Structure 1
Amino acid sequence: MSETPSNVAEFSVSEISFSIKRTMEDTFGYVRVRGELGRISRPGSGHIYLDLKDDRAVLSGVIWRGVASKLKIQPEQGLEVIATGKITTFPGQSKYQMVIDALEPAGAGALMALLEERKKKLAAEGLFAEERKQILPPLPKVIGVVTSPTGAVIRDILHRISDRFPLHVLVWPVRVQGETSGAEVANGIRGFNALEAGGAIPRPDLLIVARGGGSIEDLWGFNEETVVRAAADSQIPLISAVGHETDWTLIDLAADVRAPTPTGAAEIAVPVKAELMAMVDDRSRRLNSGLVRFVTGRRTELRAASAALPAPQDLLALPRQKFDTLANGLERALIVSTKSHRSTLQNLEGRLSPLLLSRLSSKARQDLSNASDRQQRALTVAVAQKRQAYTAVAARLTPSRLSQQTLLGQERVTGLSERLDRAFLARVTHEKSRLDGLQKLLKSLSYKDVLARGYAVVRDEAGQPVRSATAIASGAALAIELADGTVDAVAMSDSAAATPRKGETKKSTPSKSRPENQGDLF
């Protein structure tokens, strides 16, 4: 049967998809959508894919790479924003999306909420802790300034430093507003810290990060995490001078000192040279005056002390008299000592005559000869005793005596072997008798003899004995063990069937249950 022809136009998939695309773009054109940022994806291509959502719907969005690099506010999940762009479709996946050309926060409240959340996060990491703060140098030789080189801020700083205390100032030019300002400021702080001391470019002793006042959006670059972390990690003391006195950013919390204005930062960084010179002059005058008073006082004390001291001849009179007395007694003492030593020497000379020495030498020689004779005799006696002992031992170690000991050992081993054989035979006989008794006991207690008398054991599918007829269900598989083998059976009636009468022969039909007393045997 042929189909009825139709006049409905046919379209290809591409025609339908691109037709819908043109319709949506023509209908909506350029729109502004307010919503909360959901999922955010940043692939390697540089584009940003995100979701705009409210409590009832989700709208997919895409920010092309060229637009993403110019955004004032980088998209973050949970931020409420107003997106401007056009609605279009993506035919490759049959979905519609919004191509975003501009992205701005939905009021200052959203930025402040995001700022508070970021502040809590960084504070929890300890980046704002007071113990991390460094002390500013009292008189730096080189100051590094991270700011815009064309604004009024750098001119105010240089003018104030020149008025107060002219010194070497290095400027790291950065953008202080826009999407790249945060990264440039962070690179400036890290760049100054990377300079080596004593290099071609002097390393600053103090850093100033400065910018004029503005709205929260204008100052947002100084709230970026990369700027805060660079300020907290700076090894060079850092002064934050961003905005006016009422403005505040996260870099103010991470910096070592916050200045109310850029000009105030210059005043904090260096003292007034004229005041320093006046202070040095004042302290120099005070030092000279103090030295004069000190020397005058010490001179007066020295004169008073010298007036109280006795004359030098009076101080030496008593020691001189004592010396003269000791000198007079020294001559007499030397004469007496010499006579005493001469008498002692004469006594010793009489005792040390050649005859006496000869006698002592002869006596010592005789004592030595006697000791040598005694030692020789003692050695001879000891050698004779050892030889006698060794001879007695050698007499006991003859071959005949060893043979006799060997025969005695063999006889003893033979006797022990015979005793072992007798004991083993007796033990085997005893254990065999005990095993025979246990076998008889096992045979008398085994159910195999009961099966031989005409009984049977009924087992279920698990191989367990069935002890009650009520435990057998209709259709259950059974195994009936007899004396000469096992028969498989199936129960044909339920457990309420009557038990066979006494004396009846058990039929081979497996549906009959066993007698109640048969289960009692097992």
Structure 2
Amino acid sequence: MVFVADLFTNKQIRDEQPLPPKPLTVSELSKKIDDALQGRIGRIDVVGQINSPKLGNHWYFTLADEEAKIDCAMWASRVTTIESGEFEGGKPKQGDLVIIRGTLGHYAKYGKTQMYVERMKSAGDEKGSLQQAFDALVLELRDKGWFSEEHKKALPAYPRKIAVITSATSAAVRDVIETARQRWTGVELLVVNVPVQGNAAVASIIKALEKVDANAKSMQIDAIIVTRGGGSLEELWSFNDRGVVEAAFRCETPIVAAIGHESDTSIIELVADLRASTPTQAAMVLIPDSDELLQMVDHFNLRLTSGVIRAIEHGQSKIKHTQATLTSVCSAKLHQKNTNVASLSESLTARRPHALLQKRQKTALTLSSALQTYIKQRIALSTSKIDTLQGKLDAIDPKVVLQRGFSLTEDASGKLIRSGKDVADGQKIRTVLAHGTIESKVECTT
């Protein structure tokens, strides 16, 4: 005994005949479904909200209400039957409420039921209920100032750990993980698995936001990414829910939100500290690029090295100038003293006071000797100080380091090689010694 369920009345039709011995192919089953849909329902009128419209020559869109949706197709020959002026700009927009007439069919290639639209007209000037609710909440929260810059928190420059609130099996979380792996392996991602649509989504997202924020300090979480892939307004609605939006606004941890595609906007994105167009961009704005950081370090290292070299050269020049000045001054003073002594000697000799002359000569000789000794001591002391300073400068001079037996190795562009990871097999390198350079090729690295 076999009972076959009626697809549309849920009645059971009793069939006393045995099942046919040959099973149906998938194509045959699809044909029977298509025949059943068209034969039992025929042409029908349906009212609903336009979602995800793709309006070229042929129109493809989803017709939805708060609880269900169905894919629709309207061929170009049918599009031309729409009266001019029926829709602003000649085409319906996202969120427009319309009445369509057509037939149901089964699209065998993708195994889905869709409606083939023959007629379409506007259901009135009002937008769909979801769009109305969206606009009302946006207006309310904007008036409260929830979207203003004063409420936006600064994002961490170098986050250690990021919580990602999304479905753990989604393409969105895979995009975030892959982007993080490419940019900086040092960042840790904590994936908080939540349903992103359906009855349980709102409560789960609120709980996740509150729990992550409450434990952010103890778990060292520096930022939160809230994300999911694209979808219709209904599918994205959890992120427009007042409770979810309020939970995000109350978070003390910075939030980056990326909901749907770039053309989609959810209210949680408006209250978040930053809106990203895609999950990948959300990861990019939070996670620094390690390659860029290394380039910055190399740049600062080059500037520091250049500054040290300039300081050494300036110090050496100043020492040489001081040494020359000191030598000149001491020589001039010594010459002046000798001149004075000679003048005094001549004066005394001219007056012929023999005893006084001898005494003065003796005194003059003593003073001259003492002065020469003092000047020599001062010159020796100054020379010692100069030699000490010169020794300190020589100790940090890269050329002196090379003379001790060390060497510097650089690539063809002149960039210093610090590790075997910086070169590849077969690469040409140059080793700088105290006297000359050596050109070589890398055979292997370890």
Q: Fold-level match, TM-score > 0.5?
A: no
Q: What range describes the TM-score normalised by the shorter chain of this pair?
A: 0.3 to 0.5
Q: Give the structure with the higher percent helix.
A: 1
The alignment's TM-score, normalised by the length of structure 2, stands at: 0.45
Please say which structure displays the higher CA radius of gyration.
Answer: 1
Give the TM-score taking structure 1 as reference length.
Answer: 0.39
| Structure ranking higher on relative contact order (CA contacts 8 Å, 6+ apart) | 2
